[in-house]
Structure formats: C-alpha cells, structure tokens
Amino acid sequence: DVKVTQSSRYLVKRTGEKVFLECVQDMDHENMFWYRQDPGLGLRLIYFSYDVKMKEKGDIPEGYSVSREKKERFSLILESASTNQTSMYLCATAGAYNSPLHFGNGTRLTVT
C-alpha cells in the first residue's frame, strides 16, 4: 500500500510567517503533487514535481514555492502566509503514466 505522510494535520500560523508543509512517500514514485482544496472550488494544483530537483507550476502557484531535494520528500513553502491561503493542503504521489493519485491525509492550515 502506498503511504503518503504529511507532517502536520492542523496548523495555525500568523500573517507574514514563512510556512513549511512537508510530504514524504514510501513508494519510490517519481511524481509528487501539491493541491489545495476549498469549498466550492474543488482541488486545485499548486505545483508538481516529476523528478528530484524538478518542479513545474500548476494552476495556482502564486505565493507558493516548492522543494524536492530527495525523491521521497516534497515540501510546499508559503513565503509569507496570508489569510487567503487558509485552506486544506493535500500532497499526492503517482507512479507510472496514467496511474491514479495517492493522497496524504492533508494539512488544514489556518492563517490568522
């Protein structure tokens, strides 16, 4: 079974803080993704990575950056947290082409 672990389940941060969300997978998948999920908007792709040190922007990358120094770890960074970044953040991995995503259990971030 694929295991995707996100470091925090709930997080509360202040406006302007730098925030790190960590994601670790144990399935040797090349491909990792960060999504955010908001009511009525569904899941939106922030960034993805198809290899170590590679990253691609998704649909809503503004205000975020990512880091992939090791294959199993993909970090999402909020450079200066803002209240409109309050959301549920989901990390996912995928193996071969056309295979489904496997999600971590999510981080519910509140920015006050």
Partner 1 sequence: RKEVEQDPGPFNVPEGATVAFNCTYSNSASQSFFWYRQDCRKEPKLLMSVYSSGNEDGRFTAQLNRASQYISLLIRDSKLSDSATYLCVGNTGFQKLVFGTGTRLLVSP
Q: Which residues bind partner 1 (CB under 8 A)?
A: 31, 40-43, 45, 48, 50, 56, 88, 90, 94, 97-98, 100-106, 108
Give me the least distance between CB of 83 and partner 1, in Å please.
20
Give me the least distance between CB of 80 and partner 1, in Å please.
27
Give me the least distance between CB of 62 and partner 1, in Å please.
18
Give 88's contacts (C-beta < 8 A, 6+ positions apart).
36, 37, 38, 106, 107, 108, 109
Q: Tokens 């996912």: give the residue.
A: 92
For partner 1, give the closer residue by CB, 73 or 103: 103
For partner 1, give the closer residue by CB, 41 or 79: 41
Question: End-to-end distance of the chain based on CA atoms, in angstroms?
Answer: 37
Give 28's contacts (C-beta < 8 A, 6+ positions apart).
71, 72
